[in-house]
Amino acid sequence: MRNRLFWAVAALLLCRLASAQETVKAYPSNWWVGMKHSSLQIMLHGAGIGEDAKVSVSYPGVQLVEFHRVSNPNYLFIRLQLTPNVRPGRVPIRINNARGAAVRLDYPLLTRRSGKGTSYAQGVTSADFIYFLMPDRFSNGEPGNDRIPGMRDQSLNRDSMYFRHGGDMQGILHHLDYLQGLGVTALWMTPVLENDMPDRTEHGYAFTDHYTIDPRLGGADAYLHLADALHQRGMKLIQDAVYNHVGLYHFLVQDLPERSWLHQWPQYTQTNYRDQPLLDPHASAIDKKLSSDGWFTPQMPDLNQGNPDVAEFLIQHALWCVETFAVDGWRIDTYIYNDLAFMNRCNKALLDEYPRLSLFGEAWVHGTANQAYFARNHLDLPYKSNLPGVVDFQCLFNGILPAVKDTSGAGVNDLYGTLSNDFLYEDPARNVVFLDNHDMSRFFSEAGEDWSALRIGLSWLLTSRGIPQLYYGTEIAMKGFSNPDGLVRMDFPGGWPGDRKNAFSREGLSADERSIQELVRKLGLFRRGSSALKTGKLMQYTPVGGSYVYFRYDEKQTILCAMNTGNKPVRLDFSRYAERTAGFRKGVDVLTGASYSLEQPAELPGRTMWVLELQ
């Protein structure tokens, strides 16, 4: 344990110039021997470090390839080539600058995690069940870090949706038993990097230092502890990555290396939030530029990934995070607004280094073909994405949501039709399916607070193809509309001392809330042991009379899923599904234990979904 702690601290050291008055920080703060990414660019940041600087390196197995300055003298970029025989240690880098001082930077080269037998970068697949939460809103495990002296945002008020509430990674650690009890196998959190902004820091998407874990969440030690605890339980860690933008108070914006690090406009120009210009063969150049180069918000400057120094900074940071914190999956924020050529390059670097690592991108777009454009697909197009999977907005907006909202039963045709377009993807099982998230209205509210709709939605989520993702609180029917977004980011009940309702212990939950939580628990745990639901094939039948039936199956197991979103009962004639039911005599409801003979028709009640294991 002591060696482990020493390694973790060493991995996060900020290098210092030995004889300089001021501190110079290095990015990345360390690297490793044995990495495929062996051409390493170190960015130094410190007062005047680049002024007429000259660099020399003397260390076996390390070659100085080049160094270059930029318009801001506070930066210096050094390119090193690490040869296959290089050994761990501290690489002495000598810098002579315009001030006449010869200074030495001792740069750490470490042994990789793989040398210690640590399991990481495992990938998150359809065999997993993701729980997605906002650390600030889930549970406060360490009140001592609620406010950090010197940080710009000193707010702490649970009565305000826009202030910090104090949740942290220690709070998550306290409740890993709860997550496992739901059948969860992977944890995805909104970003944990430092967001030293004046306000609205609860969401985490405005980075101010890529190499610092936000101390209000517990810092790097807590993140390492959480990663270890998850892996010890056989669970996985997903990191939320943001390449498109940073926070306005990021040191790279406040002390800009050069103008080309950001997309600059004569006046503030916001993205058009449109995906169509990026794939439209008839699109205008200005519309494409607005899509990719417009700023996300005035508080989030847009990075220019066409600048090679920016691209290298982002790629190396991604690799550094996976290696340092034992990340298994990589969720990419605002995927479509990034430079797509850069994204292919970055994805390749990650997958070359970590072949099992899962990558999925947020592609909030309009239509299945549009969504498939940003993932590995079967389309013959000039641009070919190498992104393995996407967050599947189409299965939500054009699938399960209209299905449950249309009480005539006709809405299931939208769900059927959306899934019929899976031929567009190279592997639709890599897509992440979900009911809601931190940016949109809660599913329960969208469905008119209809308990039957929520039960159907959750049953579909845990039996459909793809990787299921549950947003925190959906398992107890938390509600709220997304305008403003703070209403869908409320505290998880029981995460703070004195909460009158406690979803962890079930104290104070209503009968309906308990029923929903039990549905998730039963189906989540069943899924964990179900080969058909985890990795089996999907076969769906055209909806008839308001009923929609699909099967998940493999050589070991067959699951029949029957959905009736209409108000009236429908008659299921199992003989219609003989292709999949042949050889079976009955279906046993996974949730209730009820048994149904397959040799005669059955009546499926209105607003009901069956999940039947065939026997």
Calculate the average pLDDT of the chain: 95
Contacts of 558 (CB under 8 A, 6+ apart): 532, 551, 552, 580, 581, 584, 613, 614
The confidence score (pLDDT) of residue 554 equals 98
For 311-329, b/e burial (b = at least 16 CB within 10 A) is bbbbbbbbbbbbbbbbbbb
* Angle at 428 (CA atoms; ends 531, 550), nearest 5 degrees: 55
pLDDT tens sequence across 195-245: 999 999 999 999 999 999 999 999 999 999 999 999 999 999 999 999 999
Q: Please give the Cα distance from 30 to 28 (Å, whole number).
A: 5
* Residue located via tokens 């059948």: 183
Domain 130-533 homologous superfamily, CATH: Glycosidases (3.20.20.80)
How many CB atoms neighbour CB 146 within 10 A?
A: 17
Is residue 85 classed exposed, middle or buried when 0-12, 13-18 and 19+ CB atoms within 10 A define those classes? exposed
Among 452, 372, 453, residue whose Cα is nearest residue 419: 372
Contacts of 264 (CB under 8 A, 6+ apart): none
Alpha-carbon distance values, 321 to 204, 246, 358, 393 (Å):
16, 17, 14, 27
CATH number of 2-116: 2.60.40.10
Contacts of 573 (CB under 8 A, 6+ apart): 601
Q: Are 264 and 363 in contact (CB under 8 A)?
A: no
pLDDT tens sequence across 26-82: 999 999 999 999 999 999 999 999 999 999 999 999 999 999 999 999 999 999 999
pTM, rounded to two decimals:
0.96
* Angle at 217 (CA atoms; ends 216, 222), nearest 5 degrees: 125
The DSSP-derived string for 240-309 is: EE--SB--TT-HHHHT-S-GGGB---SS--B----SHHHH-TT--HHHHHHHHHSBSBTTBPBB-TTSHH
Rg of the chain over all Cα atoms, to the nearest angstrom = 26
Give me 113's structure tokens: 């995690």
Q: Are 547 and 604 in contact (CB under 8 A)?
A: yes
The confidence score (pLDDT) of residue 16 equals 39
Domain boundaries, the chain: 2-116, 130-533, 539-614
The confidence score (pLDDT) of residue 22 equals 52
Whether the domain at 2-116 and the domain at 130-533 fall into the same CATH topology: no
Rounded to a whole number, what is the distance in angstroms from the first to the last CA of the chain? 49
Among 276, 273, 344, 281, residue whose Cα is nearest residue 315: 344
Any alpha helices (H) in 157-254, and if so which ranges?
Answer: 169-173, 176-181, 219-232, 251-254
Give me 570's structure tokens: 């429908």
Give me 384's structure tokens: 């070919």
Show which residues are catalytic: 333, 362
Q: Are strands 558-564 and 570-572 parallel, antiparallel or unpaired?
A: unpaired
The confidence score (pLDDT) of residue 7 equals 41
CA atoms within 13 A on the CB side of 607: 11
Matching CATH number, 539-614, of 3.90.550.10, 1.10.287.70, 2.60.40.1180, 3.10.580.10: 2.60.40.1180
The confidence score (pLDDT) of residue 545 equals 84
For the beta sheet containing 54-57, the strands, ordered from the edge strand earlier in sequence to the opposite edge, are 31-32, 102-110, 89-96, 54-57
Q: Which residues of the chain have pLDDT under 70?
A: 1-22, 98-101, 115-118
Give me 287's structure tokens: 């519309």
Give me 422's structure tokens: 């899976």
The confidence score (pLDDT) of residue 6 equals 40
